[in-house]
């Protein structure tokens, strides 16, 4: 089983690293894709090796898409290939999980209309304007979509993420 994480520099360190290591712990192969090869650096200084550029990603190769927050989603959402990847996961009814600012990518891909979701407080108005039904809860599950608000929600976020994979 393979998981795909889309991110860029200035990601929220815990929101990328906790899912990364939790999935690896469950023997899920994790690929980190970004705008360029090399490494990306989190807001708090952690570096993560980039396995592929977004252009090199074939969404059909992955069982789940994870979108960590921080400032990275503001950059990722401007990449047409990133939006195409997100749309592909939705079209295939595969799990998509997004935390904090991560839902901004789904907003730009026009995937949240009519969906129940949550996000970081500064993204709430944008989420509502995109047609999502906002819920202020630590985790919101709407079919294949799992969303959470902030790092303190990571235990609930990961519990539901792992359920999506049957783990």
Q: Which helix (H) or strand (E) holds 108?
A: helix 103-108
Angle at 19 between CA 18 and CA 24, to 5 degrees: 105
Joined tokens for residue 10: 């200035």
Q: Which one of the listed residues 22, 101, 115, 149 is annotated catalytic?
A: 101
- Please, which residues bridge with residue 70 across strands? 11
Active site residue 101: yes
Q: Which helix (H) or strand (E) holds 154?
A: helix 154-164
Joined tokens for residue 137: 């809860």
Assess contact for 57 and 4: CB atoms under 8 A: yes
Assess contact for 69 and 99: CB atoms under 8 A: yes
Q: What are the residue numbers of the active site?
A: 101
């Amino acid at each position: 089983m393979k998981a795909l994480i889309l991110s860029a520099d200035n990601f929220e360190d815990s929101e990328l690293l906790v899912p990364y290591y939790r999935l690896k712990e469950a023997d899920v192969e994790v690929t980190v894709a970004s705008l360029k090869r090399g490494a990306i650096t989190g807001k708090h200084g952690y570096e993560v090796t980039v396995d592929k550029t977004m252009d090199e990603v074939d969404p059909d190769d992955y069982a789940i898409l994870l979108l960590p927050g921080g400032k990275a989603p503001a950059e990722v959402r401007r990449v047409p290939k990133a939006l195409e990847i997100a749309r592909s996961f939705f079209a295939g009814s595969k799990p998509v999980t997004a935390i904090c600012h991560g839902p901004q990518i789904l907003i730009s891909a026009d995937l949240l209309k009519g969906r129940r979701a949550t996000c970081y407080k500064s993204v709430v108005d944008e989420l509502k304007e995109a047609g999502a039904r906002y819920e202020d809860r630590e985790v919101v599950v709407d079919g294949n979509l799992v969303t959470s608000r902030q790092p303190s929600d990571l235990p609930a976020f990961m519990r539901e993420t792992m359920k999506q994979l049957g783990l």
